[in-house]
Amino acid sequence: MPAARESLLEAAGAALAARPWPAVKMVEVAAAAGVSRQSLYNEFGGKGGLGRALVRLEADRYLDGVDRALAAPGATADRLAAVAEWTVRAARAHPLVRALLTGFWDPDLPAPGRAPGPGELTRAVRDRAAAALMPAEDVRRCELAVRLALSYVVAPGEEPGAAELLALLSARSRRAATRSPRG
């Protein structure tokens, strides 16, 4: 039933985009997905299960975007800036991603269940960076890029561009390299 599951999750996401989760009706989600309400209940067990699956889907989509940014051709700094830029864009466009990254769960969203929290997602990004980027300094810079991006999510301002993020990351790296060791 993978096709029905995907259709139900897409329909639930569209319903959530149109109205708060408490106002989303299972019968409407099933109809929009072209399946019976019983199929929805068989697949997810109820509205709570559907909501948890939707949260998990958004977490996976966010991490897929991180993977794409890390795999893009170009200099490491450009890929790190792309991860940061993706983080800001995804969080601004998708309330569930914003909630996952900040830990703030608006009552208009589905309950997270055992979804990854902000620390888990940041560590997942760091681990993916470790797999994609070799030097340990690049992995630390990736975590810094995500944390910098999260500051734009938590305290919204004008969306930073890749050039701005790259400049901030590069300036921090230069300062770290020129700092004398403390003894």
Residue ranges making up the domain that contains 41: 1-45
Residues 97 and 172 in one domain: yes
Write down the pLDDT at residue 81: 84
Query: Contact 51/21 with Cβ under 8 angstroms?
Result: yes
List, for residues 27-61, the tens digit of each pLDDT value. 999 999 999 999 999 999 999 999 999 999 999 99
Regarding whether 69 and 6 lie in a shared domain, the answer is no
Residue type, 151: S
Q: Which one-letter amino acid corresponds to residue 144?
A: L
Is 62 in the same domain as 34? no
- Per the confidence metrics, is the pTM higher than 0.85? no
Say what the pLDDT of residue 38 is: 93
CA distance 129 to 90: 18
Q: What Rg do the C-alpha atoms of the chain give, in angstroms? A: 19
Which of the residues in the chain have pLDDT under 50?
1, 172-183
Decide if 183 is inside a domain. Answer: no
Number of domains within the chain: 2
- Give me the CATH number covering residue 29: 1.10.10
pLDDT at 9: 95
CA distances from 176 to 59, 78, 85, 109 (A): 32, 19, 23, 40
Q: Which amino acid is at 108?
A: D
